[in-house]
Amino acid sequence: MTDVNTVLDQAGLTNEDVRAYVNEWFAITGAERVEVVSAADDARLIQVALENGDLLPAGEGSYFSRSYFKDTARAEERTIVATSDEADKGIYNNWKPSSEMKPKLIELMTGASKGKTMYVIPYLMAPAGSPLDKFAAGVELTDNVGVVLQMIRMARVGVDYINHLGNDFVRAVHVTGDLPNLGQGTPDDKRYFVTVADERTILHFGSSYGGNALLGKIAHGLRQGSYDGWKNGFLVEQFMLLGITDKETGKKYNICGGFPSASGKTNLAMTLSPDALGDRYYVEFYGDDIAWIWVDDNGVLRGFNPENGVFGVAKDTNEHTNPTAIDSIKPGLGVIYTNVAYNEKTQAVWWEGRGDKPTDLDGWLDWKGERIADRTAEQADENWAHPNSRFTTTIANVPNAAEQWDDPAGVEIHGIIFGGRTRDREPLIRAINDLAEGVYDGLTLGAEATFAADGLEGVLRYDPMSMRPFMSYGEGDYAQHWLNVVGKATNNPIFAHVNWFQRGEDGRFLWPGYRENLRPLLWLMQYRNGEVTGVETPVGVIPARDELNLEGLDEQTLADLDTILTIDTARWQQEMGYRKEHLEQFTNVPAEIWEAHNRVAKNLDA
């Protein structure tokens, strides 16, 4: 068996607290070997993964991985926040006492890595040297080389990030488990994904899929980070972050925002200027999934993306919907594809929405590894790729990545937007000047349910600030924390709500979306600067038609503008009843939030 301390010495890992933690878990998991990794080990570990079959080549310098077929997405019902204080319990965080969960996870993990290598991944979920450094460092222990390779793309990895921190690091343990024998989705399900938030410890057992196994990304970057932020005065949110430069005036704006699943967040984060406006406006990418936000000593609201890469959903990603993403996953960039369709003869990959489906089926395997040419007539319409299939690439591969994306000082936040998905009622954009109303709007963010799925056509599945799956403490306390943090900012960040998804009576989208979504954001910054006045409504300020830059839009879109710049009062009054029920679930909701709700309801009734 490996002499752990000798390996740690050779790797230059000098932090005594980290060394003790590695030794402890090496003994618990029963691993045979230990290896400390850094980003410099990527090429070597790629070869290890290719040799053992964890990866397959996907063309020049690209790679393909396939999950176990029951292990392809986050398992929210098995995801738990544990602490020693029941006051941390919320509606959405699946709270359990740590005294119950820690022994359970230790029992499951005991001996579960027998015969395997324990990889030690020292990582940082922040630009090095940032004021939030001490909250961003962690050490993930995993028995899965595929997880190591994904983490190298998604975080900054190396011992230099943790040697100086003493005990200020997140302890993150991932054990894959015997995937075919875990009872996924049955009463005997053995999977648990637990964040022991008040001990800054993450224990995940029973998966090798990204969101369950890349512990720096979701469990630390969102759940643990959010809890740390609550206790230490900063915000951690599932937000995209982009920058817009007006080349004519030299002004630069940075906008962050939360969007429920399938509401256009990644496409907006990676957007480019529309062709008609490209000579004047340049859009920069900071991040597509997470933002850490704080107020600096000068009262300026600032933020950064803590990640080092993009873990993007492949479905519907193509040259039209997201050309930036396509440029970020070109051959030779070290991209890892997960659960897409794969051709074992040509090494090509494909997913629904990528383009025309290949007609020559020779060599094509679906996401389960089953031969597509052997499908029966009844199986002909089944997906080739899993709907949650992914590509993993580094921010360095994103062609319009901002020069400041890794700046430890972060960037000034000028706007905070929430993007829901409704077919009516919600206009293209509405600006919100009042802090409490902005936070209230985020708490009541949601995406429209479908009648087939939920029996409630037009009713939202609420997803506060798009953090519903990542909440680590109570929603009322969360709202108060938002009021406290943003309330300290003196640089006038403005809130807004956007909706790219209004439909006409014939079912077609009334707004072209994608790159054209830059236009309402430009209006928002003009409104913030006092350059336009907009039109007051009971639910915020919407653009006057002549305030939007409409250059290059087609005649149909221009004709539809009157609809998507309209407030449907009757539908809004109906929505206010649903919002009231939603907020009444939560304890400790600040009086300012209820006052904002009542104010909006009264304005609508008037």
Q: What is the pLDDT of residues 87-117, one digit of tens each?
A: 999 999 999 999 999 999 999 999 999 999 9
Binding residues for GTP: 262-267, 390, 421, 514-517
- Residue 498 sits in the same domain as residue 545: yes
How far apart are alpha carbons 174 and 295 in whole angstroms? 33
Which secondary-structure segment (H or E) carries 349? strand 349-350
Task: Calculate the average pLDDT of the chain.
Answer: 96
- Indicate whether 336 and 468 sit together in one domain: no
Helix residue ranges per DSSP H, 306-346: 323-328
Same domain, 419 and 481: yes
Question: CATH no. for residue 367?
Answer: 2.170.8.10
Burial label for 178, CB within 10 Å (0-12, 13-18, 19+), is exposed
pLDDT the model gives residue 75: 87
DSSP 8-state code for residue 209? S
DSSP 217: I
Regarding whether 444 and 374 lie in a shared domain, the answer is: no
Whether the CB-CB separation of 197 and 230 falls below 8 Å is answered with: no
Same domain, 479 and 533: yes
How many domains does the chain divide into? Answer: 3
Residues with catalytic roles: 263
Domain endpoint, select from 217, 232, 247: 232
Token digits for 9?
């010495």
Q: Which residues are annotated as a binding site?
A: 74, 209-211, 261-267, 388-390, 421, 514-517
CA angle 425, 430, 434 (to 5 degrees): 120
- Residue 174 near residue 142, CB atoms below 8 Å: yes
Per-residue pLDDT tens over the stretch 331-354: 999 999 999 999 999 999 999 999
Task: Report the percent of the chain where pLDDT is more than 90.
Answer: 95
Across the beta sheet with 364-365, what order do the strands follow? 349-350, 341-343, 364-365
pLDDT digits (tens, 9 = 90+) for 512-542: 999 999 999 999 999 999 999 999 999 999 9
What DSSP string runs through 448-470?
EPPHHHHS-TT-EEE-GGG-GGG
Binding residue positions for substrate: 74, 209-211, 261, 388-390
Q: What is the CATH number of the domain that holds 517?
A: 3.90.228.20
Residues 245 and 367 in one domain: no
Q: Are residues 142 and 34 in the same domain?
A: yes
Q: Does a structural domain hold residue 62?
A: no
Assess whether 334 and 259 both reside in one domain: no
Q: How does pLDDT run across 158-200, given as a tens digit for each residue?
A: 999 999 999 999 999 999 999 999 999 999 999 999 999 999 9
Domain assignment present for 63: no
Q: What is the CATH classification number for the domain harbouring 21?
A: 3.40.449.10
**For residue 60, what is the DSSP state?**
T
* Domain termination site, one of 177, 199, 232: 232
The two three-digit tokens of residue 201, written as one number? 């410890």
Within a 13 Å sphere around the CA of 579, how many CA atoms are in the beta-carbon half?
A: 21
Residue 64 lies in a domain: no
Nearest 10 degrees: Cα torsion 99, 108, 180, 468: 20
Distance CA 269, CA 500 (A): 14
Which among 555, 539, 531 has a CA at the least distance from the CA of 600? 539
Tokens of 426: 């919600």
Query: Which candidate, 33, 27, 78, places its Cα nearest to that of 192?
Result: 78
285: tokens are 């990418």
Q: Residues 540, 449: one domain?
A: yes
In a domain, 580, yes or no: yes
- Do both 92 and 40 map to the same domain? yes
In the structure encoding, which two tokens stand for residue 185, read together?
């989705």
pLDDT digits (tens, 9 = 90+) for 452-491: 344 455 678 999 999 999 999 999 999 999 999 999 999 9
């959903």: which residue's tokens? 313
Separation CA 416–CA 114 (nearest Å): 48
Q: Which token pair is 148?
A: 């190591």
Distance CA 568, CA 500 (A): 16
Is position 122 within any domain? yes
Helix (H, G, I), strand (E, B) or coil at 407: coil
H helix or E strand, kind and range, residue 266: helix 265-269
- Local confidence band at 1 (pLDDT 50, 70, 90 cut-offs): low
From residue 182, alpha-carbon distances to 108, 110, 139, 185, 496 in Å are 11, 15, 26, 9, 44
Decide if 452 is inside a domain. Answer: yes
DSSP 233-281: T-EEES-EEEEEEETTT--EEEEEEE--TTSSHHHHHT----GGGTTTE
- Specify if 42 maps to a domain: yes
Percent of the chain at pLDDT above 70?
Answer: 98
Of 342, 372, 395, the residue that ends a domain is: 395
Same domain? 527 vs 598: yes
Q: Does 17 map to a domain?
A: yes
Residue 277 structural domain: 236-305+405-605
126-148: b (≥16 Cβ within 10 Å) or e = bbeebbbbebbbbbbbbbbbbbb
Whether residues 39 and 90 share a domain: the answer is yes
Query: Would you call 359 helix, strand, or coil by DSSP?
Result: coil
